[in-house]
Amino acid sequence: MQAQVQPSQRPTPDSLRLLLDSLRRAPLNLGQPPQPNIGQLTQPPSANLDSITISKDALDDQIDYTAADSMYFDIKNKQIHLYGQAEVKFQTMTIQANYILIDWKGNTMSAEGKRLANGEWLGKPHFTEGDQDFTTSSMRYNYKTYKGIIYDSQTKQEGMNILGQKGKFFGTGNDTTKHNIIYNKNADFTTCDLDHPHFSIRSNKQKIVQDKVAVVGPCNLIIGDIPTPLWLPFGFFPLKLGVRTGLIFPQNYEYSEAWGFGLERVGYYLPINDNMDLQLTSDIYLKGTFRLHALSNYKKRYKYSGRANLDFAYQRTEDAEGGISHEPSGSLQWSHTQDAKAHPYRNLGGSINIQAGNYQRNNRTDAAARLNTSYSSNMSFRQRFDKPFDLSASFSHSQNTNTRNVTISFPTVNFQTQNLYPFKRKVKTGGEKWFERIQMRYTSEARNQFTAKDSTLFKQSTLDSAKFGLRHNVTTSTSFNFLKFFNISPSASYKEVWYFKTQNKTFDPNLTIQMDTTWNEDSTDFIVTNDTTKFGHIVTDEMWRFKPLRQFNAGASMSTKVFGTILFKKGKLRGLRHVMTPTVGFNYTPDFTDPDWGYFKTVKKDLRNDELLRYSIYENNRISGFEQPSTGGKQMALNYGFSNLFEAKVFSKRDSTLKNVKLFNSISVNGSYNLAADSLQWSVVSIGGNTNFFNSLTSFRFGVVLDPYDFNRSTGGRVNQLNLNTNGKLLHLTSWNANLSTNITIERLRDLIKGEDTDKKLTNRPSSDEDGTETAITNAQGPEDFLSLFENFTIAHNFTVAQRYYSKAGKDSIAITTHTISSRGSIKLTPNWNIYVGNFGYDFQSKKITYPDFSFARDLHCWEMGVSWQPQFGSYSFFIRVKPGKLDFINIPYRKGLQDSRGFGGF
């Protein structure tokens, strides 16, 4: 039901005078009410409306109101009663309630809800003014002074739910320079969104400044309506929208036997500008251990985004005997992504992850940090020019936490051309000639490389041992068909590496006697237990000089395809197909070990004989990816190879269709014959292949090495006698290996039962809608079943077996080199209970469990509880805390870290 005045109706002068008198006191836009019987005139009124004066107490704007049930106009008391889903709007203010009373004599509005017999509320008043809104059981509001009284109010401010027993509201109307203020009595602060919250911070007096701050007097933590002994004399809760500078309250605390009492993640937050922020936090322990963390996020729309994280840890530990150990460690992580719309030819992006002093292993207990042994980085800048040239500069790094070896390449500058066709005609007449397909390409790379242990990474000795060089590479190739079915591909390449350091080795003929001694108990005398005499030694001198390494080769190859097919008319198997790709080729490489090239030298090894050691002058300047001089001698090699693909055509009764199934993805055979060699011209024959089983749940790979030459039974080395002549067999088995890898997921297991191809589904599955938003991927298995519990669970099994010849044993030996099974993922037992398995597995070789990592989590609505346990080191943690938000500092943690662990056992 709505009320309004129709301008087409013309009342009598007496009626008009009465209506204007009412409007002068409280002008209303009455929506669409039933019209009062004021009659109609056939002649215009004689009153002059221009002479009417509006009262100074009249409102500046109209009041709109509606009601779903009914309206009652009390003209005598100047009141309007609205029943059922009532709503009143005035300027920026809106009130919705089950019942609203408008009193235009007192310029007030009153609203009430209706409480049902079951205790639920019907139409609780909801008040909105600008960004301020709250819900109450009843309220009264003066729409002229913008003040009001509210009872049992509930409002939300920046994730905070504020409930007050009685409060006063001071609004600002249309004045945007001021903030709405609420004074509350017996109010609760909480992040629980229930009308009756599970916990709160309760105080007798509160002042809430909208979108700015809430100030409270003495307050007490209430959990489940039970007051706790925790009191605060006063409190400030920021309610400001957006980012702001401020202190970061400690997110955790713990007591460690080794480190003492500590606070974690206490610090300061600083928004640098609209595109970047900075968070500085620290972990502080009373016995001297500390950690420092710096985290920065940045983003510029349509330009770039990134995140940088710098950590430093200093662990001071005292053992039982009073000895003190210091162990510093650090970590640098940076990721940067440039938006595709930022620049069409220029790009900067990548990630950096450098660990020093085993930071991850020393400061984290989860399986991902403990089992990960390798880290790498790659940050690059690329510039593409209009012409076919590309330029890039990059930083790259790799490290192994087991060996603690770190390799950093910086800077690395690459320049390359795209494929150039120097003989392609600009104006074509007729078909394309074979020489037009000749292509050339030039690439160059300058690299500076450091190699060191992670503990000495930033020392001067590491900088002094830097290795650097410049590599050039020119290639040319083409391809054309011969006799329609054969493809011929000739090629040639020239490589030149500029080295600026070489080495020279000389023989020192002086004798050296090395003795091992053992002192007696009172350290007064020693006994020589062993002595070693060296008859001279080699002295290595490093020289700074420019010495380029030049290498080149040329060759050609010819390939074709041979198809074989067998079809069957009946049965499940309807056909077999074999595709073979034979390849033959020739490759020429000069003998770079010739002294005329100057790449290799010889030096005497021992005074007792004339045996010489051949060495490369570039041995001290090995750079990853840069060529070293070839040691294989002259090569005039005839290469051969056979690549095979086996497929089957299977009839499916499910949908009466034929499906192609790969029996083997690839089986290849490769070898060569060197025409320039004076012995052992035939190379070994290498055979390898791979295939997948059971909807790609299991993959199988194998490799076999066969040798056409006999071998020395004592040393295992090859001898220049064909095996056919000595043993009557063309080839003998040298070694073989096989790998069986299984990766089980519920999705692939379901598709296997249904006879569907998971890889094909993933390829055809859409990743985004037309508007670019991400599409939610849902499972089509229907109602949840037992397997649904393991939807996010993975089980992996890896088995590798190899056969090798051991010359000392004089026999072949088959060894299982890898045999492991592992699982990881999450199990959602109920909507609120989750089990997380970071890792749980078994190594059959070492016969031990591989670092189990378990976590349990319970969703407690506005709280959360969790337990994690790593039994291998006896570390565990427990917490029950408020969910992340304004009050997440309410936290009860208990933890036992690596510094206090005593091995397997945990609790």
With cut-offs at 50, 70 and 90, classify the pLDDT of residue 381.
very high
Residue 434: phi and psi, rounded to 5, are -65, -35
Q: How far from chain centre, in Å, is Cα 885?
A: 23
Q: What share of the chain is helix, strand, coil (3-state, %, to 5)?
A: 10, 60, 35
Query: Tell me, what's the pLDDT at 469?
Result: 93
Give the start-end residues of each E strand in 626-776: 635-652, 657-674, 685-693, 698-707, 709-711, 718-722, 732-745
Question: Which residues 6+ apart lie within 8 Å of 60 measured at CB?
Answer: none
437-473: pLDDT as tens digits: 999 999 999 999 999 888 787 788 888 889 999 999 9
312-347: pLDDT as tens digits: 999 988 776 777 888 889 999 999 999 988 998 899
Among 617-626, 709-718, 784-793, the range scoring the smallest mean pLDDT is 784-793
d(CA 689, CA 666): 5
Q: What is the arithmetic mean of pLDDT over 224-235?
A: 88
Q: What is the arithmetic mean of pLDDT over 12-19?
A: 43
Tell me what the pLDDT averaged over the chain comes to.
Answer: 84
Nearest partner of 474 among 406, 411, 420, 515, judged by Cα: 420
DSSP-assigned letters across all residues of 850-863:
---EEEEEEEETTE
Nearest partner of 494 among 416, 553, 439, 417, judged by Cα: 553
Nearest partner of 607 among 531, 539, 508, judged by Cα: 508
Assign 3-class secondary structure to 476-506: EECCEEECCCEEEEEEEEEEEEEEEEEEEEE
752-780: pLDDT as tens digits: 776 676 766 666 655 444 343 333 333 44
Q: What is the arithmetic mean of pLDDT over 722-728?
A: 91
With cut-offs at 50, 70 and 90, classify the pLDDT of residue 119.
confident
Please give the span between the terminal C-alpha atoms of the chain, in angstroms, as a whole number: 68
Q: What is the arithmetic mean of pLDDT over 858-887?
A: 90
pLDDT > 90: percent of the chain: 45
Nearest partner of 899 among 329, 282, 399, judged by Cα: 329
**Cα angle, residue 531 at apex, residues 525 and 535 outer, rounded to 5°:** 140
Answer for the pair 149, 167: CB distance below 8 angstroms, yes or no: yes
497-510: pLDDT as tens digits: 999 999 999 998 88
Q: In terms of C-beta density within 10 A (0-12 exposed, 13-18 middle, 19 or more buried), how is residue 351 classed?
A: middle
pLDDT of residue 352 exceeding 90, the answer is: yes
Answer for the pair 530, 518: CB distance below 8 angstroms, yes or no: no
Among 51-60, 382-391, 488-497, 607-616, the range scoring the smallest mean pLDDT is 51-60
Query: Tell me, what's the pLDDT at 777?
Result: 36
177-224: pLDDT as tens digits: 788 888 988 889 899 988 889 999 999 988 888 778 888 889 999 998
Q: What is the arithmetic mean of pLDDT over 577-601?
A: 94
Query: Tell me, what's the pLDDT at 58?
Result: 65
Q: What is the arithmetic mean of pLDDT over 14-37?
A: 42
Q: How far from chain centre, in Å, is Cα 823?
A: 20
Residue 105: phi and psi, rounded to 5, are -75, -40
d(CA 229, CA 219): 11
Query: Tell me, what's the pLDDT at 465?
Result: 86
pLDDT of residue 276 exceeding 90, the answer is: yes
DSSP state for residue 3 in the 8-state scheme: B
With cut-offs at 50, 70 and 90, classify the pLDDT of residue 861.
very high
pLDDT of residue 251 exceeding 50, the answer is: yes
* pTM of the entire predicted model: 0.75
Query: Tell me, what's the pLDDT at 701?
Result: 96
Residue 52: phi and psi, rounded to 5, are -75, 135
With cut-offs at 50, 70 and 90, classify the pLDDT of residue 5.
very low
d(CA 415, CA 82): 79
Q: Which residue has the higher pLDDT, 180 or 858?
A: 858
With cut-offs at 50, 70 and 90, classify the pLDDT of residue 791.
confident
Tokens of 244: 């702001």
Among 130-134, 190-194, 388-392, 624-628, the range scoring the smallest mean pLDDT is 130-134
C-alpha count within 13 angstroms, C-beta hemisphere, residue 164: 28
**Cβ–Cβ contacts within 10 Å for residue 52, how many?**
12
pLDDT of residue 808 exceeding 80, the answer is: no
Look at phi and psi of residue 880 and say left if phi exceeds 0, alpha if psi is from -120 to 50, else beta: beta
Query: Tell me, what's the pLDDT at 496?
Result: 95
d(CA 216, CA 206): 5
Torsion of CA 836, 842, 843, 848, to 10 degrees: 110
Q: What is the arithmetic mean of pLDDT over 475-501?
A: 94
Query: Tell me, what's the pLDDT at 139?
Result: 93
Tokens of 76: 């005598």
Q: Rg for the chain (alpha carbons), in Å?
A: 42
130-176: pLDDT as tens digits: 777 889 999 998 988 889 999 998 888 777 888 988 989 888 777 77
d(CA 235, CA 203): 10
Q: Which residue has the higher pLDDT, 76 or 558?
A: 558
With cut-offs at 50, 70 and 90, classify the pLDDT of residue 811.
low
With cut-offs at 50, 70 and 90, classify the pLDDT of residue 291.
very high
With cut-offs at 50, 70 and 90, classify the pLDDT of residue 526.
low
d(CA 153, CA 137): 7
pLDDT of residue 812 exceeding 80, the answer is: no
Q: What is the arithmetic mean of pLDDT over 487-501?
A: 95
Amino acid residing at 143: Y
> SS3 of 295, please?
strand
DSSP state for residue 777 in the 8-state scheme: P
d(CA 641, CA 638): 10
DSSP-assigned letters across all residues of 408-443:
EEEEEEEEEE--B-TT--SS--SSPPGGGG-EEEEE
d(CA 174, CA 176): 6
